[in-house]
Structure 1
């Protein structure tokens, strides 16, 4: 299972929906009208991602609005996993 699929699994467990997020594009804003996550959902999503992938996000990942869609989050996770392997 790749990073994107794991993110979808986390999202499905966090906030189940009838459409199972099958119609969501990877660049869809998580707080936008289609996904509709609120700030509490985002915090849980953030923490669950860190736990699942055994990584830590840094301030830059969040402040620069990189944590806004599944595509960007997948990219950040990939970077963190590569960094982790190097250390």
Structure 2
């Protein structure tokens, strides 16, 4: 167990950050699944910008890799275009 005050604080902070990252990642994955299951082009087009924004935020905060974010956005845009 950590002995320094700063180490104890870092342990507490790491846990809260981990839970926040996990929540944001899971929420984004659910939004992606919802967008992929969408069959109506209008609804998909309105949902796409919010999902892309969520993916960009995950990438910016290093929750997912930048290349993975680019691949996800590309595939989602291609799918919406083919609807």
Q: Under a length normalisation based on structure 2, what TM-score does the superposition of the two structures give?
A: 0.28
Query: Greater share of helix residues, 1 or 2?
Result: 2
Q: Report which of the two structures shows the higher radius of gyration computed on alpha carbons.
A: 2
Q: Under a length normalisation based on structure 1, what TM-score does the superposition of the two structures give?
A: 0.27
Higher relative contact order (CA 8 A, sep 6+): 1
